[in-house]
Structure 1
Amino acid sequence: MLSARVAQYSRHVASTSALPAAFLHTTPAVRAASVKSKTSNIERRANRADLAGLNKPHVILGFRQGDDAKWTNCDLAKVMVTGEEIQSSPTPTLSINSSKIEQPTYLNFGVSEAEKDLLFNTLPALRTEALAVLNQKAKGTSQPAFLDKVGIATEKVEAYKANMLARVMDLRNANARGIAFENRRRCVAAFSDPEKPNDTGRPEVQGAFICDTYIENPDPLGTPD
């Protein structure tokens, strides 16, 4: 009977001692499979997030990646001016032998269309006319040939001065802040209520400001060039 009990106890010890060995051998494989599964799940979630991000409209500009036509055809894009457009615009030429005034496409310093017309059309014409009258009085003659000659010469001089002013006031001479100022001025003019012009507090104007700021500096925390 004692021998039977010893044999039973030995079998019990053998069976229990085998469990830790099996557990130790299978644990690394189980853990590796678990880590691999978790990694795959993380990658799948990341891929889904990337796809969702590609299909999601930009929170500021309002269009999806690759759908640039929505931006180029919108009112804001048509109002704003870019550095590329400014640099590709024609530069007013200087010639003392020409009476043609070449106005710049884009003006700096927030010059309005009315002020632009005054500077490059009205004032040169008035100056030419006034000098012609003064020359007529100084010479004491009213001969048409003389007056025409003086008038043409004066007109060329005034055109040269106006073209010099145009080159100075060209927006291509502005820095980034100058271009930003011009774009904000355009946004205010375009999106203010007609009955309340220059309304910088209007939501449409504020939204245009936000878009303009993002376009000028899409990474405000990045290192400037």
Structure 2
Amino acid sequence: MTRQRNLEKRVQIQQRAEENRPHVVLGTKAGDEEKWTTSDLARVLVKPEELKPIPWGQKIPFEAKTDAEGREVLRKLQTVGGDEVVTPKAFSYGITEPEKNLLFNHLPYLNAEFRTNVARETKRVAATSGAMQVEFLKNVRQNTAKASMLARVVDLVNANKGGIMYENRRRVIEEFSEDGKKNDTGRPEVQGASVASFYLASGSYILASCPVNTSNPKLVGAS
């Protein structure tokens, strides 16, 4: 009986130790999850809700700036006879706000103008205002369809693990670089957050014996 009680006690001790064991990457313990969820690092990393594909055939009110799930709706092409372009919540290939406006607002419009002018110069359409308007409208609609397709191609939902890790690192560098000094990859905060995001994404347990220091409130929320 004594031996049985000792075995049961040992099992209980092991269970408590396992329950209180810090997270292998974050260093947080059970009950301390808020330290992670409220941290700057958790805020900037790619989240599961960002990895939902853009649905086809959405009915979006004209005045709406986003769709039902919060994706931004661009309407520059719609104002000239095309349709809205729904953009992803998160992009692959390091696409940021300036590139987004270039790819989905300006270039499709300029391409429609260019193709219309080429059609006039080559006399493929008559150089009348009516014929030019019809040609321009056709080109706008074609470019709207291409822009919508491109938005789906560059959606982060199509990225592999490497692509998501690249986006995480890009966000980490932007968030933790010193003010006025972009892309400061040598800063300790950037390097620490990059390592943490790498192991969180890869699911590695290499850091089991070396949990992240939780004393930095930007990496893991303030205690």
Q: Structures share a fold, TM > 0.5? A: yes
Identify which of structures 1 and 2 has the higher relative contact order when contacts are C-alpha pairs closer than 8 Å and 6+ apart.
Answer: 2
What residue number does 2:87 align with?
103
What is the match of residue 113 of structure 1?
97
1:74/1:131 CA distance change after superposition, 3 Å: same
Shift of 1:92: 6.4
Normalised by the length of structure 1, the TM-score is 0.66
Tell me if the contact between 1:63 and 1:70 (Cα under 8 Å) persists in the aligned partners: yes
Deviation (angstroms), 1:140: 4.4
Q: 1:149: Cα distance to partner? A: 2.1
Distance 1:193 1:141 in 2: 56
Q: 1:62-101, aligned counterparts within 5 Å?
A: 62-82=27-47, 84-91=48-55, 99-101=83-85
Deviation of 1:53 (Å):
5.6
Structure 1 runs (4+) deviating above 4 angstroms are 42-50, 91-94
Selected match of 1:159 from 117, 121, 144? 144
Q: How many residues align?
A: 182
Letter in 2 for 1:131: R
Q: Distance in 2 between matches of 1:190 and 1:162?
A: 29
Deviation string, structure 1 residues 140-181 (Cα, Å, up to 9, x no partner): 4232x3333222211010111122222222222211111111
Mapped contact 1:54–1:65 kept (Cα < 8 A): yes
On the 8 A contact 2:54/2:88 being kept in 1, the answer is yes
User: Which of 1 and 2 has greater Rg?
Assistant: 1
Deviations 1:93-145 (A, max 9, x none): 69xx95332222222122222122211111111111222333344334232x3
Residues 218, 99 of structure 1: CA spacing in aligned structure 2 closer, same or farther, 3 A cutoff?
closer
Q: C-alpha deviations, 1:8-66, integer Å up to 9, x for none? A: xxxxxxxxxxxxxxxxxxxxxxxx97xx49x83x8657745654664565463143213
Instruction: For structure 2, list consecutive stretches of 5 or more residues without a partner in the other structure.
Output: 59-80, 207-223
Q: Give the letter aligned to residue 192 of structure 1.
A: S
CA RMSD between the two structures: 3.1
Identity %, equivalent residues: 37
- Partner-residue secondary structure (3-state), 1:157: helix
Structure 1 regions of 5+ residues with no counterpart? 1-31
